Amino acid sequence: INYKLNVIMHLSRRYSETSILTKKSDVYSFGVVLFELICGHPVRFGTPEQYFYIVQWATLNIMSGEIDSIIDPRIKGAHQMNSVWKVAEVAIACTARSSAERPHMYNILNDLKQAMEIEMDADSQELEVSAIEVVTTSESSTEASRLVSDSPRTPIR
């Protein structure tokens, strides 16, 4: 029963009304999976007394600017916030109530590529900074060594 509930929760409203799967119902399901990845929660979570559906919970928090509060603690700080925002925007678009408002997969792919580029740009900038620090440290060490070797030596008594 739990497996069936999870499968149903990934499906769009339109499917639950018509029992017809479409490309747009796949898009909805993909958006749910994106939310699960960002938040680290299953489709339905909480306690038996108070539970939340991830799409509504995450969308509400994101739309009110509280994206930081929904990020899975296991990935928090490991990614660029602009990249996380991009993925969250894609998830929201994918889970739009109306299937006509949901993007096509090629648009989703382009948006996710942009999020990945943000991550890669940040990584390459970090590598550049690290390389500059290594070169600077190396040059400082070389300069310090040269200064020591060039200074007049006085015997120690």
Task: Count structural domains, the chain.
Answer: 1
Which contacts (CB < 8 Å, 24+ apart) does range 17-24 have?
Answer: 22/99, 23/104, 23/105, 24/99, 24/100, 24/102
- pLDDT tens for 144-154 read 555 555 555 55
pLDDT band for position 24 (cuts 50, 70, 90): confident
73 found inside a domain: yes
Residue 155, domain member (yes or no): no
- Is residue 3 over pLDDT 50? no
With 80 as the cut, is the pLDDT of residue 47 above it? yes
Q: How far apart are CA 88 and CA 68, in angstroms?
A: 11
d(CA 113, CA 104): 14
44 belongs to a structural domain: yes
Residue span of the structural domain in which 43 resides: 1-127
* Residue 73's CATH number: 1.10.510.10
The answer to the question of residue 147 being in a domain is no
Classify residue 55: in a domain, yes or no: yes
pLDDT reported for residue 157: 47
* pTM value surpassing 0.75: no
Sign of CA dihedral 69, 41, 34, 124: positive
In a domain, 86, yes or no: yes
Question: Would 138 be classed as within a structural domain?
Answer: no
Residue 122: pLDDT over 90: no
Q: Residues near 90 by Cβ (< 8 Å), separated by ≥ 6?
A: 31, 34, 103, 108, 111, 112, 115
Distance CA 111, CA 89 (A): 9
141 pLDDT higher than 90: no
Give pLDDT, residue 25. Answer: 84
Residue 29: inside a domain: yes
Name the residue with higher pLDDT: 17 or 116.
Answer: 116
